[in-house]
Amino acid sequence: MILVGSLALITYLRVCKAMNINTGILDYKLFIFPLIVPTILCIPAWEYFGPDGYWCFQNRASSFIPLVLLCMNISILMTSLFCYIGIAHAINVSRFRNDQENFRASNKKIISYLFMFILQWTPVMVFLIFDVNKEANMWIFVICFISLPAGGIINTYRYISNEGFWNTYSEFGTGRDPSSRNQSNLHSIKNYGGPPTVRKMKIKIILN
């Protein structure tokens, strides 16, 4: 879930703030934060791990783990909602350009990804709320067991169907830096107060 929030934040900074963030080769920098944060959280929660009814989660001696996960899930969900709403707003306002079909398709993609994100993680937050109150029943375990892998599989399928399995670029040289081809688009989206102006060039005609 941290990776999803990081992607939403980076996309927001690129589209709405025109900030080009280098994520390294194969986007390896995206995985640094999702690896560090759980490792740090596991240190104080180590003594609370154990059997939890139908899976290994916590020993129910304390509500520390579900409370931390619930706060983290809610904060990431709110951050992702803010970022995706800002991206959708920037896309809608920037429709003064000629590629309205492209913007409409992008808007649909954002809405679908956001819907799948909420659909995948809402059952987990419901489970955590029940777990804090010591009322986790069989049905909530089943819903979490289904929603977590199903959300990842559906998101992968939608991404491959929308973007393709391999990134291909029509322009020469853009394969080295995929984000460079969006610099002009990001600049126009950031400054979406009105349509871009065209400077008039004076052409001097010399008659022989």
Q: How far apart are CA 199 and CA 59, in angstroms?
A: 69
Residue 108, H or E segment:
helix 100-132
Cβ-based neighbour number of residue 90 at 10 Å: 19
Q: CB–CB of 114/77 below 8 Å?
A: no
**Structure tokens belonging to residue 119:** 């659909």
Looking up tokens 């992008």 gives 106
How is residue 67 written in tokens? 């409370």
CA 119 from centroid of its chain's CA atoms: 14
pLDDT at 193: 44
Whether 92 and 16 have beta carbons less than 8 Å apart is answered as no
Domains within the chain, CATH numbers bracketed: 2-165 (1.20.1070.10)
User: For residue 132, what pLDDT is reported?
Assistant: 79
Residue by residue, pLDDT tens for the chain (208 residues) are 788 888 888 888 888 888 888 888 877 888 888 889 888 888 887 877 777 666 667 766 677 888 888 888 889 888 888 988 888 888 777 655 555 666 667 667 777 777 887 888 888 888 888 877 877 677 878 888 888 888 778 877 877 777 666 655 444 344 444 444 444 444 444 444 443 334 444 434 344 4
**CA neighbor of 107 nearest in space, from 80, 82, 89:** 89
